[in-house]
């Protein structure tokens, strides 16, 4: 597939539009117009707006800035903190708008689209499993001393993060992310 094909342009444009406005508020017409492609070309590439949105969430998950934290000198706990920090920086860069597209799409569509529910389940599940792996490494290194199950803790930390991002969109300031760091890294994961 050539770069910048019509298909790529539609996916890239839809990623921005869905993140900015949500699924229901964004029409195929809006997306094709913003992408500068004929509306008729849309259905050559996607069965439906839902089909496109599922692909967009998979792309958003795979390309998350979270995955860019690869400094090998960081300890597991330092890496986890840096990963949440970089996601928080994205939020600040967006002026506390948009939040997490995985959470947004889950909130809006989990009850109405089985393919989207499955994609969001996979995105959140993979993310939580990655956190759990890091927590296991941190515990093996003696960086954390909590006796909580790492899988459970990973899921809980991700839930707390998604809730903090939601509140960030609402209060439009750093407080929810600051609260998250204080409680997760200052309390839950501090050495006992």
Residues interacting with a second copy, by CB under 8 A? 20-22, 24-25, 97-99, 103-104, 106-108, 110-112, 117, 120-121, 124, 146, 148, 152-153, 155-156, 158-164, 166-167, 169-172, 175-176, 179-180, 182-183, 187-188
Compute the least distance from the CB of residue 20 to a second copy, in Å: 7
What is the C-alpha separation between 79 and 144, in angstroms, rounded?
Answer: 13
Name the residue nearer to a second copy (CB basis): 42 or 161.
161
Place of tokens 């998604």: 162
Compute the least distance from the CB of residue 100 to a second copy, in Å: 9
Name the residue nearer to a second copy (CB basis): 5 or 182.
182
Compute the least distance from the CB of residue 2 to a second copy, in Å: 34
Place of tokens 């964004």: 26
CA distances from 72 to 67, 78, 137, 185 (A): 13, 11, 14, 20
Compute the least distance from the CB of residue 119 to a second copy, in Å: 10
């Amino acid at each position: 597939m050539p770069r910048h094909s019509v298909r790529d342009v539609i996916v890239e444009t839809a990623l921005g539009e869905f993140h900015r406005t949500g699924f229901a508020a964004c029409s195929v017409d809006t997306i094709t117009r913003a992408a500068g492609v004929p509306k008729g070309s849309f259905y050559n590439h996607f069965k439906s707006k839902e089909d496109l949105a599922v692909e967009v969430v998979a792309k958003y998950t795979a390309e998350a800035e979270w995955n860019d934290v690869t400094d090998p000198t960081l300890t597991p706990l330092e890496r986890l903190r840096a990963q949440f920090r970089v996601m928080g920086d994205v939020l600040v860069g967006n002026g506390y708008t948009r939040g997490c597209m995985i959470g947004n799409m889950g909130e809006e569509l989990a009850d109405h689209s089985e393919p989207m529910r499955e994609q969001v389940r996979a995105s959140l599940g993979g993310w939580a499993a990655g956190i759990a792996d890091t927590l296991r490494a941190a515990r093996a290194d003696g960086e954390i001393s909590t006796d909580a199950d790492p899988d459970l803790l990973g899921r809980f930390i991700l839930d707390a993060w998604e809730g903090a991002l939601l509140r960030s969109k609402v209060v439009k300031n750093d407080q929810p992310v600051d609260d998250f760091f204080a409680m997760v890294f200052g309390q839950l994961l501090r050495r006992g």
